[in-house]
């Protein structure tokens, strides 16, 4: 199993551009999450999903959108990128809402 | 919402000594408390977790204690080794309620030879 994979690994965006961060898991996990980690800080939850077709906001959802059309994929969309969205983005998944969350390798995003 | 505070922000110990990292949480409904280790440039990896129905859990050199009344939990690493050097994060969530983790701000542990 590859586990949780994320693409791209790195990206530089200009202010106002848009992009989609991809996340895929091959563990047939129901729950998936997007976190952001700012330098020297802990992770903050952006959005999460408890199953295909079901998504909900986390602590810091503004400026982002998600969709969950399949169990495997949970893309994160950034519209009108702003410098405040410069961060490392981690996707995670878990089998249920009571299990360990497995993290992907992260996407380092810079908005200039 | 939940708020998790973590101390200290940096910790330096000699190889072989013990290290203790402490966290407090605000939401009494939280019942799942994982600890993650993150090496530079890497993803967070779970090292141990505890649920609110137990007060202590051990796994070789690592242990976690939980005090529900005081709403705090701690990570204990004994016989520290250089490979223990990393950033450690505590987190809290309501398992079964989406398990949305709220993280502490991290502790940079440095184990010196």
Q: What percent of chain B has pLDDT over 70?
A: 100
Which chain A residue shows the shortest CA-CA distance from B89? A42
Mean pLDDT of A40-57: 94
The pLDDT score that the predictor gives to residue A98 is 78
Closest by Cβ to A100, choosing from B4, B46, B98:
B46
Residue B96 has pLDDT above 80, yes or no: no
**pLDDT at residue B71 in the model:** 96
Contact A97, B35 (CB under 8 A): no
Q: Quick one: pLDDT at residue A96? A: 85
Q: Mean pLDDT, chain B, as a whole number? A: 95
Dist. CA A99–CA A107, nearest whole Å: 24
Q: What is the pLDDT of residues A8-33, one digit of tens each?
A: 999 999 999 999 999 999 999 999 99
Average pLDDT of A39-50? 93
Is A1's pLDDT higher than 90? no
Q: Looking at the complex, report in whole angstroms how far the Cα of residue B38 sits from the nearest Cα belonging to chain A.
A: 10
pLDDT tens digit sequence for B4-16: 999 999 999 999 9
Residue B98: predicted pLDDT: 82
Q: Which residue of chain A comes nearest to B4, CA vs CA?
A: A42
**Could you report the per-residue pLDDT of B15-52, keeping only the tens digit for each?**
999 999 999 999 999 999 999 999 999 999 999 999 98
Q: What is the pLDDT of residue A48?
A: 97
A87 touching B, CB under 8 A? Answer: no
Q: Which tens digit of pLDDT belongs to each residue from B57-69?
A: 999 999 999 999 9
Q: Measured between beta carbons, which residues in chain B are less than 8 angstroms from residue A45?
A: 100-102
Contact call for residues A66 and A55 (beta carbons, < 8 A): yes
Structure confidence at residue B42 (pLDDT): 95
Contact flag B43-A94 (C-beta cutoff 8 Å):
no
Look at A101 and B98 and tell me if their CB atoms are within 8 Å: no
Q: Which of B44, B97, B99 sits opposite A94 (nearest CB)?
A: B99
The helix (run of H) or strand (run of E) holding residue B35 is strand B32-38
Size of interface A-B (CB pairs under 8 A): 61
Q: Quote the pLDDT of residue B54.
A: 87
Q: Where residue B97 falls among pLDDT bands split at 50, 70, 90? A: confident
What is the structure's pLDDT at B72?
96
In 10 A of CB A102, how many CB atoms? 20
For residue B9, the model assigns a pLDDT of: 97
Q: A52-111: per-residue pLDDT in tens?
A: 999 999 999 999 999 999 999 999 999 999 999 999 999 999 998 778 999 999 999 999
Rounded to whole angstroms, the Cα distance separating A16 from B3 reads: 32
Predicted pLDDT at A67: 96
**Cβ <8 Å between B106 and A104:** no
By CB atoms closer than 10 A (0-12, 13-18, 19+), residue B79 is exposed
Q: Mutation test of the interface with chain A: which of B100, B102, B106, B108, choosing the one with the most A Cβ atoms within 10 A? A: B100
A103 at interface of B, judged by CB pairs closer than 8 A: yes
């Amino acid at each position: 199993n590859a586990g949780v994979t994320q693409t791209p690994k790195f990206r530089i965006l200009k202010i106002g551009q848009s992009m989609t961060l991809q996340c895929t898991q091959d563990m047939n996990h129901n729950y998936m999450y997007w976190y952001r980690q700012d330098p020297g800080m802990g992770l903050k939850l952006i959005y999460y999903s408890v199953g295909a077709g079901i998504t909900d906001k986390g602590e810091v959802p503004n400026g982002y959108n998600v969709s969950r059309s399949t169990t495997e994929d949970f893309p994160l969309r950034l519209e009108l990128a702003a410098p405040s969205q410069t961060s490392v983005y981690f996707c995670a998944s878990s089998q249920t809402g009571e299990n360990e969350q497995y993290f992907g390798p992260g996407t380092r995003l810079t908005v200039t | 919402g939940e708020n998790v505070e973590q101390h200290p922000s940096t910790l330096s110990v000699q190889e072989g000594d013990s290290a203790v990292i402490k966290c407090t949480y605000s939401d009494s409904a939280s019942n799942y408390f994982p600890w993650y280790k993150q090496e530079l440039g890497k993803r967070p990896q779970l090292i141990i977790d505890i649920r609110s129905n137990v007060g202590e859990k051990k796994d070789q050199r690592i242990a976690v204690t939980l005090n529900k009344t005081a709403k705090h939990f701690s990570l204990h690493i004994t016989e520290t080794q250089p490979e223990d050097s990393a950033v450690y994060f505590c987190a809290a969530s309501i398992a079964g309620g989406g398990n949305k983790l709220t993280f502490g701000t991290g502790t940079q542990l440095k184990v010196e030879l």
